[in-house]
């Protein structure tokens, strides 16, 4: 393996985060803090607790997941899209580095940034609500698997997109609504039975539910089902990325 090549890509992407600190770190943390203030005061005064958990603490895993999904996609998609947009992707393809090493550099950096952001948001949440993590190891597993899976998904979007509009359309019009409707701010047990069944078709529900279980041992769906869903999504993304790089889809044209 070309370790130096992977480190060069990884280091470049991590350096981009330092150059855009306001956009990459400060902005998501401020947005999440506003959610705590608005939802915690407005809704928390009416819904004191859900499944025995104070409402302010209940929404923490959902808010972390909401940020994790959008930032993982954004970091990875822009990382591979910009070289395509500027044409510097051809210099990368002609370098003595394999497709796997290219993905490892870009996706590894995006995953690292998202996981660090997740920890920063958790630390920020501690200033607003009392936090408890019943299963810290499983919390870390869900955090890393989700960041890795959606970084790969973002890598796919970055290759597929041929302009900045397409780069943003899926995170804004698909992922964010699914996160809001996947139990980020409520338990699906609060919904009528029909809508509970409809929500089960939302894949983001399983991520939020499993992640919340690692905090409070409270989940809308089984933990094993949540792990199975994220594992399947990870494998599907790996398969699509492999096909794209082998065929040169939108990269060599």
If residue 30 lies in a helix (H) or strand (E), which one and from where to where? helix 27-42
Measured distance CA(141)–CA(226) in Å, rounded: 12
The pLDDT value recorded for residue 144 is 94
Measured distance CA(103)–CA(80) in Å, rounded: 9
Decide if 226 contacts 213 (C-beta within 8 A).
yes
Residue recorded with tokens 């609060």: 190
Measured distance CA(138)–CA(147) in Å, rounded: 14
The pLDDT value recorded for residue 52 is 82
Measured distance CA(59)–CA(218) in Å, rounded: 12
Measured distance CA(125)–CA(3) in Å, rounded: 37
Decide if 207 contacts 229 (C-beta within 8 A).
yes
Residue recorded with tokens 């603490």: 57
The pLDDT value recorded for residue 13 is 86
Q: What are the start-end ranges of the E strands in the chain?
A: 49-50, 53-54
Decide if 201 contacts 168 (C-beta within 8 A).
no
pTM: 0.90
C-alpha of 120 from chain center: 14
Q: DSSP assignment of 164-216, as one string?
A: HHHHHHHIIIIIHHHHHTTTSSS-GGGS-HHHHHHHTT-HHHHHHHHHHHHHH
Measured distance CA(59)–CA(89) in Å, rounded: 40
- For the chain, domain boundaries: 3-247
The pLDDT value recorded for residue 45 is 62
Q: In this structure, what token pair is assigned to residue 80?
A: 């591979």
Q: Which residues of 51-76 are buried (b: 16+ CB within 10 A; e: fewer)?
A: eebebbbbbbbbbbbbbbbbbbbbbb
Each residue's pLDDT tens digit, 211-222:
999 999 988 999
Q: How wide is the angle at C-alpha 32 spanned by C-alphas 30 and 34, nearest 5°?
A: 70
Each residue's pLDDT tens digit, 127-136:
878 888 999 9
> Which residues of the chain have a pLDDT value below 70?
40-46, 252-253
The pLDDT value recorded for residue 98 is 84
């Amino acid at each position: 393996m070309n370790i130096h090549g992977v480190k060069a890509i990884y280091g470049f992407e991590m350096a981009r985060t330092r150059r855009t600190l306001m956009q990459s770190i400060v902005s998501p943390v401020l947005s999440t803090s506003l959610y705590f203030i608005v939802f915690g005061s407005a809704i928390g005064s009416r819904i004191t607790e859900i499944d025995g958990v104070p409402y302010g603490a209940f929404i923490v895993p959902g808010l972390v997941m909401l940020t994790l999904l959008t930032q993982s996609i954004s970091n990875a998609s822009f990382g591979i899209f910009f070289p395509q947009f500027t044409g510097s992707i051809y210099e990368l393809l002609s370098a003595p580095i394999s497709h796997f090493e290219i993905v490892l550099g870009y996706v590894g950096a995006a995953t690292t940034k998202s996981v660090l952001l997740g920890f920063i948001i958790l630390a920020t949440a501690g200033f607003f609500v009392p936090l408890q993590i019943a299963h810290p190891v499983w919390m870390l597993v869900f955090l890393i698997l989700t960041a890795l899976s959606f970084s790969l998904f973002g890598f796919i979007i970055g290759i597929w997109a041929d302009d900045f509009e397409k780069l943003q359309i899926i995170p804004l019009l698909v992922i964010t609504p699914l996160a809001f409707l996947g139990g980020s701010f409520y338990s699906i047990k609060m919904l009528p039975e029909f809508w509970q069944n409809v929500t089960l078709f939302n894949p983001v529900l399983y991520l939020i539910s499993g992640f919340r279980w690692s905090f409070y041992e409270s989940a809308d769906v089984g933990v094993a089902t949540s792990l199975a869903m994220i594992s399947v999504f990870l494998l599907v993304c790996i398969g699509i990325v492999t096909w794209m790089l082998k065929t040169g889809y939108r990269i060599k044209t």
